[in-house]
Structure 1
Amino acid sequence: MAFGCWVGVFVLLSVWPSVRCSDLPRGAIETACRDRYLLVTTQLSFAGNKPRFEAVDADGVHPITKQYGSECGYMFSILPLRGHAELRASYFSCHTDNQDDEVFTFSFNLITIDANGVEATYSVTATCSLPLPWSPREVSCEENYMEVSMRSDVSCLSGTTDAWTAALAKAHSSATSTWQVMFQQEGQQLIPMSFSEARELGYVFHLTRGRLVFRSPYTPRSVMGSVSMINGSVVEVVHPILLSRQRWVVMMVDWIVACSTNEGMYDGAGLVWQTPTLLSPLVSGLSGLESSKISMGVDGQLLDEPITAERGYSLDISDTTVQISIPFNAAGGYRKSFVMDNMYHEFYVVHLYYEQIFLDDCGVETRLRLHRPMNTPLLIQHLSIINQTVLEDRVFTVYLGNLSYDVDLVVVKLNGHDFTILEANKSGLVITMVPQPNSTLHAYILRVPFEDAVVHKLYSPEGLLQFSLDINYTLVILPQEEPFYYLASVVAQFNDVFPPVFKGVCNEKSIRFQMDHKPFDYLWEVGVGPYILTTNLAAKRGYIMQNDSKSLNLEVPLFSVGYTYKDINLKQFYGSFEIHSRLPKTLEVKSSLAKACLFQTTEVIVCSTEGVVTVVTDVTLAIPGAEPNGTFLLDSTCRPQETDDTRVLFSFGLHTCGTRVQVHHQHVTYENDINVEHKSQSVNAPVKSRDTASVVTVRCVYPLSDLYKLFAYWRFEADSPGVGTILTRVPVKTLPPTTLTTTRRPLTSTTTSNTGLSPGRQMPGINPRAKYVKVFSWQMNQPKGTT
């Protein structure tokens, strides 16, 4: 198909009011006509640190913003290393006066801001004559946009592709007399749109007297573009197809622009940039492509081979890639050394200019020009850092060398903590100055134990343990004591490091835990609930603990603090106890063992966090010969869930069955009575009666602070289990005043978690009017928070 068409000019212009311009000082701004663009530079000493440009034409002024510049053919940047701001304006930029594609006239406003914040506006005009004839097709890969222009009479037919056939079919079915554009994307349906719709997406189509021009920003603004990888290089492609129907003829123009967007990299010796040798997307698959000439330069100007060789530049061309290398500090680049943020830096910048000429199967020439700024990363002064750490020693040993005689180390910062040499040596760290062999240089050796508080520790569930240390050396140059810094990071890594593992064994009246010690057990703490397992905690709670260099053994008697209980009946119940290891700082649990064992039931009282009390007790202690199945609570309808010959099992809510409640200064007490049904002396049915001398009182006490939800939401939900007691009143016989005897029992509980149970009631004898209150010693007079 012939590449020939006529396209109307479509440029979207913004109209701004005119601006009064001041006279431009001599030498403050310079202009230069290059092959395909006008270069405008202004010194920052004149323009300040925030100069900006506006394009001016008959319609007004148009601020050149970042987005507007990428759409309209302007590239503006501030270059502090060179001390100037720079504007590159394409010969086909939006507001340039074009005379026959030969003479181009530009008009700009330069707006400057001085040190006092005062703005000034200066007019800048320039006219460029075309220095080099146009190639049939030219592609410009600027820093912020891609531009392609081609002669309107270029034609070539060299086979077809499926994509082109699909585009042709779509054109025949959709073309109108008004020009439209379709963007071809792999796997996407071709959708015709108007030029105005394309302009809203950032694309500009332009017709000069003899050339067709298309401009596109880079992705992500270029929503119709695509990014592909060609021979290891990233290439951005935008493929528009223009279509129009003129009577019975459908006209199509296949435009495509492709640019390598690889950034230069620093390889330790210089800057390296790479691009594909054949940028095949430029021909859309309709014809072949052959590279005929490749040239390189800097700052928008090509250099001949003798100059590039003299500077040490290299241009390596293979069948697949072109690689350009520029040594560090070579001529044509810019090196800057300075102290920034109190640190000494230097880096090297090159503005690469690349030109390549392609020929397709029809001999049509495509000339590609590319601008690419490249720079090294910030390079700190080159000192020698050697990690001499030996893992088995568990001490970071870091060597800082190549220090001249006039350089001293004054402060070292370890993971954000500052130490002078004296402070470091007093803190268990060691900093030693040593001479370097066979030289006048000296070095410093830093030693930091892995276990020191300044060392960062990172542990992963896969058993990877990592110690890391970020070091910031503060050095001064004598005698002026100008500071500079050197940074280093060291890491030590251990594999197969896991939290302690526990084993649990059920005994008749206890659960026994065992943990074998490993080298890194100190990284975790062993806990019971929210508390650390210490010898002091074990002694207070009645645990039996033995801890030596080989293992930790813990025996937890039944009904100790920390037990949880479930499935309680008159024969048996499950008691469980959990022990875990956790990180000391975050308290995150890393491993745990909850051992559940089956125990025989004697007596139980459970005061749950949900407000349910469960009690198992022997009522014959109150009234010998009493019948358990005849018992009831204060509400006589509340009967036991289970009984045997002597015991009863009740389970009821603390706000049911007639339960009494008393609010004290720090506690809330709930009480209910287990009454025994007496038989009447008459022949009538048994009569229920309440006799205080024959009552078992069940009591649950909760801290008032734990029951905020009860008073806020009228819902019982305690933060911790209540303390329960069973009070048995026995009849008076012959002995005088009441004697109070206390027998201990565990009393904290939840319905499915902490539950207090007693191991059984051991009566010292039935004394007249004696009262037995079962409560554990650890519940008595304990300061809040100690258990």
Structure 2
Amino acid sequence: MAFSFCFCFGVTLLLSMWSMATCHIPDGAVTMECRDRYFTIAVDLSFAEKEPNFEAVDETGVYPITVKYAATCGYSTNLLPLLGRMELRASYFSCHTDNTDDEVFTFNFNLNAMHGGEDITYALNKTCSPTLPWSPREVTCEVNYMEVSVRSDMACPTGTKQDDWDAVVQMAYISATSDWQVLLHRDGEQLMPMNLSEAHKQGYAFDLTDGRLVFRTPYGQPDSLSTTVNGVPVEVIHAALFSRQNWVVLMVDLVAACSMYEGSYDESGYMMWETPEELHLLMSGLHETQINVGVNGELVEQPVAEERGYIVEKHNTTVQISIPYNAEGGYRKSLVSGDLYEFYVFDLYVEQISVDEDHVDTRLRFHRTLATPLLPRPVFSLNRTVLEDRTFTVYLGDVPEDVELAAVHLNGHKYMLPFNNTSSQTITKVVHPNNTHGYTLKVPFDDPVVVQKFSKEQAVLQYKLDVNYTMTILPENEPYYHLESVEALFTDVSPPTFQAVCSESGIRFKLDHRSFDYMWDISVGSDLLTSELAAQHGYILSNNSQSLLLDVPLFTHGYKYKDVTLKGFFGTFEILVRDHDTSEVQSSTVKTCPFTATELILCSTDGRMTVVADLSLAIPSGGVPARTNLVDKYCGPKEADDTKALFSFPLNGCGSTVKLGKEYVTYENEIFFSRKLNALKNPADSSNDIDKVMVQCTYPLAGLYRLFSVYKFESDTAGIGRIVRSARSAEGLQSSTTKPPAVLQTAVPATRLTPRPVSIKPGYRPPAQYIRVSSFLNQFNKGARGSPQAKVTPYIGL
């Protein structure tokens, strides 16, 4: 803005304070600051239920600060949702400011805010004094108006055109009034003069203080001129203020000019703003220009500006200012437009100090709001999963400060934040010093929400997790979604394999745990291996995070025996690995070990009893076990030595007796050493006792398919065998230095066996299927008389 002022005058205007009641304002809700050339008020938007508004107050009344009124009277209001506040800037020469000698300025405002549905008025007042002395010429290019003030004792500038002065003087003499009038120039055309009241109605403001003349006009007035200077858009308005006092004419030639450049953004990441050094011909004499730059109404020292990345350059007669888009002092905002974007806003503050040929300082200030275009602002995610941890770890990063995570969808299941404390999933916020943050999501592989897929053909186990992050842009709560899919692969996945070793008392199995072994179940036969099953069958089970140990003592449930001789036998135990979902057998570990035993009785599932009996005390001195026999005298041992004999015979043969109980059936036979043979060897021994050892096999009735001698024997499980000695034999055992038990018995289950329905094979029709046991036994005994085969007798309470 340029101006001319040729006569000295002074006007003093006294203002009185406007007093009113003051309501309490919470700390931090409202801040007021005095700056070099203006006063500012900042209001926190959370202070009121809706956008607050201001009123200017003086002794004449209360004046609402509307958009139009603000531009005319020297106010600017700015809503800053990025910062959550609203600002008011007031020029020191604004309409309703109390001015004392251009050194003390007192401001009075009303702040109107709504609380609880009720409008409440708060009185705000502040007194300011400029920290810098006034320059002869002061120009302000605000966001909504132009303002110029000039010292009243300043000499006429040399740049004033004579033709302009002649036209104004001629108009002043023609006018017969002594009131101040305004004459506007537009494109070389002079408009008709108007008084100050008419000018004020059109938005022009003039004020005379103790030492300065002030002129203010909004942008876009009908009488303003839009032009370009060196390619930079400039708005100009040319006004002449005059008054005739008899033969004396007081005249002020005023030209207001401001750069209207909106700013630009280049690919290197800079926002740029330009202004011509000479905005108008009347300013052509200015030289020795100095440029200072700042943001938010505060100028910074040149080293600080350079440290922030500001660049000030002159290209011919144009000043170009470049600011990095993310420099300190700017405001950023996130925005969703399909994808996530951001833009930056700078409240640019520029001071241009120039000296003309008359060594008169001109201080020109610009308030301009610069904004970048929408810049892509993608967030990113990283898969930080460690297979050994068996937990998905996904990091969502580079999340802007005005974006918050509200929920996540895990494989289609929605989880709101914060997660439930009992949930196995966790999410942690990570804050970074660059005003961004991130989130670390953890979901265990075995969480029900994780999808698992196992390929038997490729031996690959896959865990998959689809994550849909739901974020909200604050404060609008506009949603934004980010999708990520992560998977974890285990290759060469195979069913677990046990290590097995033999011992004197049984077999030990060991399994080293792997992370994916939970996919399979371990069983003994059809029964899952659990601590309860181990206790029931006498196994010793130890299971921790590292390994599983199973000790299977000899003769416990699940063993299979073969190659039984007097010197020993082989015991085989098998552990099955089944698919967890289908229970199909995937693999097995079979271990066969050699064992020795003084005595042994085996009751097979196919109806055969195998016995190794120590007969050293059950036969007379000099007798040999090879001459012993079963009930059927033709059933002798298969193998014998000096003390032991091995018998192996069908349960329903060799004179065995069948005893039926309510839930069990027992096959019983005896090992004899006859009295007749004993008398021949020891005539002095007249005892009529027959030395014998009883052997038994007991089976649960519920597990038998076919029972009696006329049918083939089948059983689900091996029977429980016992070797029972006669009283005489038992006495001999007690007197022996070697003390085997009087009764040798394989392990009996700790719990009662649960009966199950008998499975009848096709074509099989047992004649006794629906016959009462007692009558059936009578019929069977009649048919079995005189036969050396099995004899059936009732037997209750095994």
Give TM-score scaled by structure 2 length. Answer: 0.46
Give TM-score scaled by structure 1 length. Answer: 0.46
Structure number, greater radius of gyration: 2
